Chain A
Amino acid sequence: MATVATKKLRKPVTDMIVSRIRQRVLAKRGPMTPPFELEYRHIFVLPTSFGWGFGFMLVFMTLGGLNFNNNMALILVFLLATIAQLTTLIAYRNLSGLKIDNIYSEPVFCGEAAHFYVLVSNQNERQRFAVQAGFKPPQDCTDFKLNSSESFHLKHPTLNRGWLEMPSFRLETRFPLGLFKAWSWVFPQSRCLVYPSPAKKAPPLPKTGHGQAGQAAKGDGDQVHGLRKYQPGDSIRRVAWRASARHDELYSLEMEAPQEEACELDWDLLHGVDVETRLSILTAWVVAADHKQLSYSLKLPGEQVPSDNGINHRSKCLELLALYLL
């Protein structure tokens, strides 16, 4: 009983001490949030488990060589030891000077993996090989050519809606022999927006599109709606050449898709279910409505998004749902 109790006690205490020490050490290392360049004080080098085994074998070989006074065996051992020692330097050089430029991510639905893209650039005149990155086990690996930049793709599971703060991750390398690993912690200050997970068995879309019906969604479609001034980005096929020729200015055709109906996604439509389920159903509706290219409005207690459609509208609605009451 007592041992169980002390064990329970000890764990947090050691954890606390370890994290204290880590904070102390890390505090001295200056900023480790991007953008920053990996310098000698950011990089740790320790043997891998294979490295320990190899070292143990070398000790064994040294003893044997000394005992038999076998000079060639000793030279071999010392050569191997020096090579192993050199690889620490090589591993360090493989990381040092890398610059973490930026990290970006795109919103995901809860339950999907959050994807973070870490942009790292190699500003030196030397190649780097097999640099790995990852939260706990390394997840991505890449080589760097001279003066190049690469991106690492890291995934993190999502459990809750809202902002997912990107946890600290490691850049590490075991180049060249796998005897030593050099690593560096990065404390990113980026986050990923996690939408509520869309309900799998959501009720069908509410068809309460009063007052909105008949309004056309501008953008893509088959019917010509009108003319407007050409804007960069308009498809060249949409340019109204005849009108443009008349006015000495470029005009493009505004198209419209006939809208079947619009719907109102209202919090109050869903009675008798808890908050998360409501959010989840609403999310499913938003996704479905967007998929059908309907115009939709979203109404939450205290929040409202007027009826619209398109990618930005969708993001806006989903963000609202993701951050509701958080």
Chain B
Amino acid sequence: MFPQLGNMPIHLVSITLLPIMWRLLAEVRDWKTPPMLLRLIATAFAIAALVVTYGGLLGRRAAVSMLVLMLSLKLLETFRIRDARIVVSLSLFLCATQFLFSQGVLMIIYITACLLSALIALMYLHRKEAYEHVGEAPASGHNLFTQVAFGVRLMALALPIGLALFLLFPRWASPLWGLPEDALDARSGLSDSMTPGSIQSLFMDDSPAFRVTFEGLLPSHSELYWRGPIFWDFNGHSWQASYLNLNLIANNKPDPEQAPFRYEVQMEPTEQRWLFALDYPALTPSGTHLTVDYQLFSTRPITRLREYVMASDPDFLDSPQLGQTLRRAALELPAGFNPRTAEMMADWRKEAIRDADIVQRALMYFNQEQFHYTLNPPLLSNHTVDEFLFETRQGFCEHYASAFTVMMRMAGIPARVVTGYQGGWYNEIGAYMLVRQSDAHAWSEVWVRGSGWTRIDPTAAVAPDRVEQGAVDSLAQRRHMLDFEWLRNMRNSFDLFQHGWNNWVVAFGSDNQSRLFTNFGLDFLDSTKLVTALIAIILIISAVMFMLAPLLLRVRSSHKQDPLLRLWQKFIRKLKKAGFISHPSMGPMELAANASCQLEYKDDGISRIAELYMLCRYSKNTGNLVELAALINGFQPQPQLRGT
């Protein structure tokens, strides 16, 4: 429950915590349930708060928050065993929903602890219920330690079967019902617009964005530009995607056979629709398409771990010809903004012969004037580019990309802003590359006749280290209090486990399942056949068990008895066969006396056996056991002939 609190806004958190605190106090002070009306008002208030916060109750985040809130409100009236059980069940449900947000190793440890405490709670509730009619339950053998041990044992016993079920349970290749379209609620990662500061906030976030395993050639650090959302429309303040670039499909794409880089990407859920690839993506994984500016665009939001194979060709010539519509879109600027920049660019235009000269001059300008690459740039007001270029001169990558693109457009060179990630941390042991949210970056592309769209990274002109070493290392200042290099390194190593976990557990789906079956030569099994086969196997096993169970159980129980008792029971069976029915209350002597009246056997064979039995039972001389066995085995009583 508590990780969800981290996902919720602060006022909802306080609404959630209040009932919990009340309930704790109630336990101590022995308060009673608050009146119905108060509870209703509290519920209505909570729902209202949710609606106000999330703009509705639909959607994953809102739904889970609602579950959390309702659960905590339920505590207000949880004074009976039934209610407590509902709370525990719902908590388990909540545990499962938490995996929608994170499937990391830490989360798993936390949920395991939750599961354990839920089991203990259920045990406690059961005990309380069982002893309800009697009063207090005896505490004997039921302290917390034994309960924890019992819970752990239960979990350990259940784990193998649970995992087997996990491997064998048929999966759906596609979702049964549509994934909620709330997917677009706030989530860290690049978004569909860029304002100064948006990437900067990502910079604080060390959570992984995606992991890449390269096949063969490893790109150099300066080639690691992971292409993401691309923006064409500028309104003077923020950059946005235009209708055109999201909906036009690329005419041609690089030949995958020629692409030097081949790799597999495992992408964390972003709840956005962009997939990331190096320039220029040559493949379109299923459910995606390439837009005209080579964004890899998925039809559905990425709401869970997504794996795709990709090939990239950095030498691909993007749009040798630029159509009129696109050209106009790539030159458009809002009127009345940034007059000083416009003036400067007009001068440059006059002095330059080729477009490439202007690009070079702009980069030189950034490099040689007093520009700073910093995490805390001053705020910009109306004429953002003017203020940035001539006054503050401090900015983060998005300031540079934005200013450069505006400059190019003013000089009549088609330009656009590209956001994505730059760099990545190569894990030697795991042989994969980890790209974190803090690697988020923004750069520009300009269209130059002859070379098509060309990537220009103005940040590299200001802070070449940014490209060579990555964003975090290129800054002298620490991002926050706990931002130490050793901690970062440790976290990077820890990511190896997370990656393995993702590979083996989280990403396990119907594909992996069928691959697994193929390994065992069961590749003919599809979902339907699998279900049938499973049911058949379960039926067969249960049928066999059903037939064998009596045998097994009997064998075990007779093994447990002591040999003497077994012998005696054999004796009694033989007596019964001969027609003498013994009563359980009879002792051996009485039995012998009664039996010898009814049955004929040797002289006093029956009482001899009884005597021996008693000797064996009550004296320590066990040597008689063999003799007794012989006697009983040879025992053949006859019904007495002389009348009854």
Contacts and interface: CB of A to CB of B under 8 A. Distances in A.
B126 A177 contact: yes
Contacts of B179: 67-68
Interface stretch (A75-83, A192-200, A286-294): A75-83
B130 A132 contact: yes
Contact of A61 (B86, B96, B304): B96
Contacts of B111: 72, 76
A74 B99 CA distance: 9
Contacts of B131: 130, 141
A81 B133 contact: no
B534 to A, nearest CB: 13
A27 B508 CA distance: 50
Contact of A69 (B138, B171, B177, B550): B171
Nearest to B150: A176
Interface stretch (B154-162, B212-220, B340-348, B468-476): B154-162
Contacts of A78: 161-163, 165-166, 169
A57 B94 CA distance: 11
A201 B507 CA distance: 83
A53 B89 CA distance: 9
B162 A82 contact: yes
Interface string A43-61: 0000000100110010011
Given A67-B172, A130-B127, A175-B126, A79 B155 contact: yes
A40 B509 CA distance: 40
Nearest to A153: B134
Interface in B133-186: 133-134, 137-138, 140-142, 150, 154-155, 157-159, 161-163, 165-166, 169, 171-172, 175-177, 179
Of B154, B509, B550, B553, chain A has the most CB atoms within 10 Å of the CB of B154
A323 interface: no
B123 interface: yes
Nearest to A132: B130
Contacts of B122: 176-179
Contact of A178 (B92, B129, B154, B505): B129
A178 B166 contact: no
A53 B43 CA distance: 24
A269 interface: no
Nearest to A64: B96
Given A130-B131, A139-B133, A69 B166 contact: no
A86 interface: yes
Contacts of A77: 96
Judged by DSSP, the binding face of B is: helix
Contacts of B623: none
A188 interface: no
Contacts of A130: 126-127, 130-131, 137
Interface in B102-127: 103, 107-108, 111, 115, 119, 122-123, 125-127
A65 B157 contact: no
A70 interface: yes
Interface centre among A68, A71, A178 (most CB of B within 10 A): A71
Contacts of A176: 122-123, 126, 150, 154
Interface in A66-121: 66-83, 85-87
B95 interface: yes
A174 B171 contact: no
6 contacts: A53-B89, A57-B92, A85-B158, A137-B133, A178-B85, A178-B125
Given A63-B176, A72-B103, A82-B159, 15 more contacts: A40-B549, A57-B92, A68-B304, A69-B172, A71-B166, A72-B506, A74-B166, A76-B111, A78-B169, A82-B165, A130-B127, A141-B130, A177-B122, A178-B125, A178-B129
Interface of B: 82, 85-86, 89, 92-93, 95-97, 99-100, 103, 107-108, 111, 115, 119, 122-123, 125-127, 129-131, 133-134, 137-138, 140-142, 150, 154-155, 157-159, 161-163, 165-166, 169, 171-172, 175-177, 179, 303-304, 505-509, 549-550, 553, 584
A-B pairs with lowest CB-CB distance, top 9: A178-B126, A82-B158, A130-B130, A72-B99, A79-B162, A78-B165, A78-B162, A73-B96, A177-B122
